[in-house]
């Protein structure tokens, strides 16, 4: 998009869905990240992430203080929520939504509490014009806003005033502002269409329920019961002053976090300010308590920074460090194909598709990638069946989309690819020619690959394969 100066509305990166409609709901985010990487490299991305993280922490504190008027409680809850959510702070468009959720709370709570002038409500127009082009979670923001304003809007309708109230008119203007995107009204339908695709949701880690057995050991799974109990306790303590709007927001975000682990970070970021008002009346404002809360806040903040440093996110200036930030960013695999002029149809791990698109697209087209709505349930179901039943479905895919020349498997889904790995290793038509901690490359025996296979053919199963499948035999 940056090079051609236009926003793509059809797929150009795959050979299975080429020309299909593509609602790129993150197009503005992609341009921003492309600009940052082009002019600032890895450090530009890391610096921008730190800036967004700082704004998230600051807005969380300000929202908490609006409701509690207690600096100690506000600081503790905001730093605690930041610590819980920080593992999800990555160079992804979803981070914009985390920021904009808190911007929305900041404006709504600030106006309701009288801390901000009512005229600032028109900032919602600019907020949603940006949000609708940055990330699809803007729809959740609209739902939040409607919940906050529902009482005033409904009262104006009940009293036969229609949408003549200030909030009603402003909400209609916000809906109109959301139409300022390349896809018009279709952008409102996209989130629901994407969530209706059952196949990718049940096969994507971040869309699994937080209590799914596949997420055993995940930090969010461990923390969620405690956060849920804290939210319930806060609501119980403040039941006499319970705000129905806050209760609905917390209920909605709890359901979202139950449904998909990816919403856990947004859940804790939104819950912290809404709980601050409930807890502040039960916590004495004494100097000792303030010192204790300040110390705990420093511990949570220090732990967040230490975790970020451990991941290398604050000290990386090289491409090697970028790989450590994103384990699916694997240029070695693509470079092997490029250096040896391997062209043709690729059957790829979905997690590796971003690397191909970033480094080789659109010239080198992928089989499929993470844009689920472009491919649909049918193709993705066949893709996942090819992983588990390759002797049948893998051949069917070759018949439908043309014979594959290479198969690229990343390290991100070893167990998922186990049946396909065994099938390719034991199939005399395929040869493993490359493996590393980043992944595997199989080539089909063709005349154009004879010299490459002769030079790089791997006869002994690599240790990672033997660890999963010790019954694999050495090839002749």
Write out pLDDT tens, residues 376-409.
999 999 999 998 889 889 999 999 998 999 999 8
Separation of alpha carbons 277 and 211, rounded Å = 29
From the CB of residue 246, how many other CB atoms can be counted at a distance below 10 Å?
23
More confident residue, 298 or 121: 121
Separation of alpha carbons 157 and 444, rounded Å = 67
DSSP-assigned beta bridge partners for residue 21? 10
List of long-range contacts for 36-44, beta carbons under 8 Å, 24+ apart: 38/2, 41/317, 42/316, 42/317, 42/318, 42/319, 42/321, 42/322, 42/325, 43/316, 43/317
Is residue 249 helix, strand or coil?
Answer: helix
More confident residue, 304 or 413: 304
Is residue 366 helix, strand or coil?
Answer: strand
Q: Which residues contact 38 (CB under 8 A, 6 or more apart)?
A: 2
Confidence at residue 404, expressed as pLDDT on a 0 to 100 scale: 94
Mean pLDDT within 341-358? 87
CA angle 29, 327, 362 (to 5 degrees): 55
Host H or E run for residue 430: strand 430-436
Q: Is the pLDDT of residue 184 over 50?
A: yes
Separation of alpha carbons 430 and 39, rounded Å = 42
Host H or E run for residue 278: helix 264-280
From the CB of residue 255, how many other CB atoms can be counted at a distance below 10 Å?
12
Most confident of 128-132, 279-283, 411-415: 128-132
Q: Is the pLDDT of residue 451 over 80?
A: yes
Instruction: Give, to the nearest 10 degrees, the angle between helix 219-237 and helix 264-280.
Output: 30
Confidence of residue 329 (pLDDT cuts 50, 70, 90): very low
Residue 269: CA count within 13 A, CB half-sphere: 29
Mean pLDDT within 308-329? 43
Summarize pLDDT for 193-229 with one digit per residue, the tens.
Answer: 888 888 888 888 888 888 888 787 787 888 888 888 8
Summarize pLDDT for 78-134 with one digit per residue, the tens.
Answer: 888 888 888 888 888 999 999 999 999 999 999 888 888 888 888 999 999 999 999
From the CB of residue 207, how many other CB atoms can be counted at a distance below 10 Å?
18
Starting at the edge strand found earlier in the chain, the sheet holding 430-436 runs: 346-348, 406-410, 439-444, 430-436
Separation of alpha carbons 108 and 458, rounded Å = 62
DSSP-assigned beta bridge partners for residue 439? 410, 436
- Of 72, 78, 82, nearest to 293 by C-alpha is 72
From the CB of residue 24, how many other CB atoms can be counted at a distance below 10 Å?
20
From the CB of residue 334, how many other CB atoms can be counted at a distance below 10 Å?
19
Separation of alpha carbons 292 and 73, rounded Å = 11
Q: Residue-wise over 464-476: b if at least 16 C-beta within 10 A, else e? A: bbeeeeeebeeee
* DSSP of 111-150: HHHTSS-GGGGGHHHHHHHHHHHH-TTHHHHHHHHHHHHH
More confident residue, 170 or 326: 170
More confident residue, 255 or 277: 255
Tell me, what DSSP letter sits at residue 86?
G
Separation of alpha carbons 408 and 453, rounded Å = 15
Strands 346-348, 406-410: pairing is: parallel
């Amino acid at each position: 998009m940056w090079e051609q100066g236009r926003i793509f509305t059809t797929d150009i990166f795959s050979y299975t869905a080429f020309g299909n409609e593509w609602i790129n709901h993150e197009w503005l985010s992609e341009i921003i990240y492309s600009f940052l990487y082009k002019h600032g490299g890895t450090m530009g991305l890391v610096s921008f992430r730190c800036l967004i993280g700082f704004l998230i922490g600051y807005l969380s504190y300000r929202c908490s203080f609006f409701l509690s008027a207690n600096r100690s409680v506000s600081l503790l809850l905001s730093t605690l929520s930041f610590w819980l959510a920080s593992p999800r702070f990555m160079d992804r468009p979803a981070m914009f939504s985390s920021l904009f959720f808190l911007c929305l709370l900041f404006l709504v709570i600030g106006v309701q509490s009288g801390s901000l002038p009512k005229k600032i409500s028109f900032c919602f127009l600019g907020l949603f014009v940006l949000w609708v082009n940055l990330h699809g979670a803007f729809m959740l923001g609209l739902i939040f806003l409607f919940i906050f304003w529902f009482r005033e809007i409904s009262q104006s309708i009940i009293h036969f005033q229609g949408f003549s109230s200030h909030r009603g008119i402003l909400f209609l203007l916000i809906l109109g502002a959301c139409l300022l995107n390349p896809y018009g009204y279709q952008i409102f339908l996209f989130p629901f269409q994407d969530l209706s695709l059952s196949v990718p949701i049940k096969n994507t880690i971040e869309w699994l329920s937080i209590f799914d057995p596949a997420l055993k050991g995940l930090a969010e799974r461990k923390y969620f019961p405690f956060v849920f109990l804290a939210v319930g306790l806060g609501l119980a303590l403040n039941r006499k002053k319970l705000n129905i709007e806050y209760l609905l927001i917390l209920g909605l975000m709890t359901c979202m976090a139950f449904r998909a682990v990816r919403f856990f970070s947004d859940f804790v970021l939104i819950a912290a300010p809404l709980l601050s008002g409930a807890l502040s009346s039960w916590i004495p404002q004494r100097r000792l308590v303030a010192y204790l809360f300040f110390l705990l806040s420093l511990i949570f903040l220090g732990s967040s920074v230490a975790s970020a440093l451990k991941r290398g996110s604050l000290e990386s200036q090289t491409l090697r460090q970028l790989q450590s930030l994103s384990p699916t960013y694997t240029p070695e695999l693509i470079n092997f194909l490029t250096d040896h002029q391997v062209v043709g149809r690729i059957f790829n791990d979905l997690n590796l598709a971003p690397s191909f698109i970033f480094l080789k697209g659109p010239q080198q087209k992928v089989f499929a990638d993470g844009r689920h709505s472009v491919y649909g349930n049918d193709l993705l179901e066949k893709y996942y069946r090819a992983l588990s039943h390759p002797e049948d479905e893998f051949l069917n895919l070759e018949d439908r989309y043309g014979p594959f020349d290479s198969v690229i498997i990343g390290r991100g889904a070893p167990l998922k690819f186990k049946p396909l790995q065994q099938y390719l290793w034991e199939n005399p038509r395929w040869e493993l020619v490359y493996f590393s901690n980043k992944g595997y490359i199989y080539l089909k025996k063709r005349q154009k690959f004879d010299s490459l296979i002769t030079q790089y053919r791997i006869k002994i199963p690599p240790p990672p394969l033997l660890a999963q499948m010790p019954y694999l035999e050495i090839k002749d």
